[in-house]
């Protein structure tokens, strides 16, 4: 599958631009970009908090009708431009006779990717710490017993707040995870990002399936199936639909110029429509299987599934205590989460790195190190702002951010404002502004599907994205 180094990605004449060595490499890298903490952390938490089956069904509906059209739109911008995200958008605008300022949609995505990777690596550092915690516990308690023998539930649940409150440790873990991310980005597309995707994504799927099978035999699998896939119409409220819409949008990493950047390394022989379907399907598959991986373990332990973000770092470690081979399963689980976080953080770091290389002429290593240094500074502030030192950070002079630490501010800015705005601009740019012949030549869709896709991009996508933006700005608007 991964053999043959025939270069299918187009190299811009005279530029020596990097590219994927094969279509399979691009698909795996793109899946890795989309599959991340949003699938393994946020999706189960959102499904648990929003009633299960009704949320899941509407989530799949949103992926098909909103996520997939936007995913194809971003990828075709990159493939057409064969440059960094802003330059690719600028090139398509110029050739369509439109204003070059439409490149703002990609520039906003680049900024979002930079801000996100700074605090995303903080969470990645937490995951590394949990791998270490379970590894240490394995040596202490042995292989066959449950995890954390001799500790009461309160001690297990305190692991996460204690970690977040240890400023020095969280900064060190953030630097470690960011350093691993930088290693792959600095090595380049084919020698770094592609190698990581080709090896780590199959390993991720093996771990995901293995833990799910373990949970199916040792946990409350039938109860989890009923929770995730039993549709109860009365639970499909407006707030549940908005939550599912937001999850579909964020799960595919739309609005951060990642797919525009990765699309810039794709050759003309690759059918973007087919690959977009594969990427969206794989991302959705991972989210659903993540639910089947986590909920049986939680239900079998008699714990609640509506813990929100604490589900992964507090509820699950507690559940592993009552499981056979609990420490070993905990190691494999957080290794799996770490792989997913890494493939996404690499994509996030690549976006501003590609932009800086093209903007300044810097070579890849100094460009990626420069971006990583900036992300490290913001990441350190984010890591420290989760503990008692947060009160010393001068954000309270901005009324919108009063009482929030750097971590929450960066998360809020990107998820509630920058990403939805960039995605709205993308749908308007591709659907209404860009030359239809240029766009149609890139999609790989049949005439019939072309018309359906264009309707979704022109009308449904921007309207629903305005809903995400409105809820982000006015969270109590639809309550």
What tens digit of pLDDT does each residue of 17-74 get? Answer: 688 988 899 999 999 999 988 888 888 888 888 888 899 999 999 999 999 999 999 9
The pLDDT value recorded for residue 404 is 67
What tens digit of pLDDT does each residue of 381-429 get? Answer: 888 876 543 443 444 444 444 556 788 888 888 988 999 999 999 999 9
Alpha-carbon gap, residue 153 to 314, rounded angstroms? 9
Residues 6+ apart with CB under 8 A from 133: 159, 317, 330
Neighbours of 4 (CB within 10 A): 10
Residues 6+ apart with CB under 8 A from 168: none
Distance of CA 361 to the CA centre of its chain: 29
- Range 410-425 burial, b when 16+ CB lie within 10 A, else e: bbebbbbebbbbbbbb
What tens digit of pLDDT does each residue of 107-165 get? Answer: 999 999 999 999 999 999 999 999 999 999 888 877 766 678 778 878 888 888 888 88
Residues 6+ apart with CB under 8 A from 411: 119
Cβ atoms 425, 254 nearer than 8 A? no
Helix (H, G, I), strand (E, B) or coil at 4: coil
User: Which domains, and CATH codes, for the chain?
Assistant: 25-473 (1.20.1740)
Alpha-carbon gap, residue 76 to 96, rounded angstroms? 14
Find tokens 């035999």 and name the residue.
Answer: 217
Cβ atoms 382, 119 nearer than 8 A? yes
- Range 298-312 burial, b when 16+ CB lie within 10 A, else e: bbbbebebebeeebb
Helix (H, G, I), strand (E, B) or coil at 358: helix
Cβ atoms 125, 313 nearer than 8 A? no
What are 466's two structure tokens? 């305005």
């Amino acid at each position: 599958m991964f053999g043959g180094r025939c270069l299918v990605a187009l190299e811009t004449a005279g530029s020596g631009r990097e590219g994927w060595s094969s279509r399979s490499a691009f698909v795996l890298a793109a899946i890795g970009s989309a599959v991340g903490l949003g699938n393994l952390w946020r999706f189960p938490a959102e499904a648990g908090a929003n009633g299960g089956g009704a949320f899941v069904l509407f989530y799949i509906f949103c992926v098909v009708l909103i996520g997939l059209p936007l995913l194809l739109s971003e990828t075709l911008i990159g493939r057409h431009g064969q440059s960094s995200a802003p330059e690719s958008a600028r090139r398509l605008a110029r050739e369509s006779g439109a204003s070059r300022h439409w490149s703002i949609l990609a520039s906003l995505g680049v900024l979002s990717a930079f801000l996100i990777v700074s605090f995303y690596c903080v969470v990645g550092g937490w995951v590394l710490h949990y791998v270490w915690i379970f590894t240490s516990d394995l040596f202490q308690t042995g292989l066959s017993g449950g995890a954390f023998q001799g500790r009461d539930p309160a001690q297990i649940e305190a692991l996460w707040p204690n970690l977040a409150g240890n400023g020095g440790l969280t900064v060190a873990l953030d630097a470690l995870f960011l350093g691993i991310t930088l290693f792959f980005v600095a090595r380049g597309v084919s020698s770094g990002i592609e190698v990581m995707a080709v090896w780590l994504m199959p390993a991720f799927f093996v771990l995901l399936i293995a833990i799910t099978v373990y949970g199916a035999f040792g946990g409350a699998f039938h109860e989890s199936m009923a929770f995730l896939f039993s549709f109860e119409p009365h639970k499909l409220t407006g707030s549940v639909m908005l939550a599912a819409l937001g999850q579909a949008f964020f799960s595919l990493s739309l609005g951060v110029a990642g797919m525009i950047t990765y699309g810039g390394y794709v050759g003309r022989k690759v059918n973007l429509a087919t690959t977009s379907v594969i990427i969206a399907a794989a991302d959705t598959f991972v989210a659903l299987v993540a639910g089947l991986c986590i909920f049986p373990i939680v239900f079998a332990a008699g714990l609640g599934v509506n813990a929100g973000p604490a589900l992964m770092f507090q509820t699950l470690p507690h559940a592993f205590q009552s499981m056979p081979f609990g420490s070993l399963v905990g190691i494999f689980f957080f290794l799996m989460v770490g792989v997913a976080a890494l493939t996404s953080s690499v994509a996030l770091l690549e976006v501003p790195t590609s932009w800086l290389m093209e903007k300044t002429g810097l070579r890849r290593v100094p460009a990626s190190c420069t971006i990583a240094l900036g992300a490290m500074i913001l990441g350190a502030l984010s890591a420290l702002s989760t503990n008692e030192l947060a009160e010393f950070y001068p954000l309270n002079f901005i009324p919108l951010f009063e009482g929030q630490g750097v971590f929450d501010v960066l998360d809020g800015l990107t998820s509630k404002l920058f990403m939805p705005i960039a995605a709205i601009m993308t749908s308007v740019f591709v659907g209404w502004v860009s030359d239809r012949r240029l766009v149609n030549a890139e999609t790989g869709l049949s005439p019939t599907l072309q018309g359906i896709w264009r309707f979704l991009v022109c009308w449904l996508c921007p309207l629903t994205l305005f809903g995400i933006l409105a809820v982000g700005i006015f969270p109590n608007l639809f309550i």
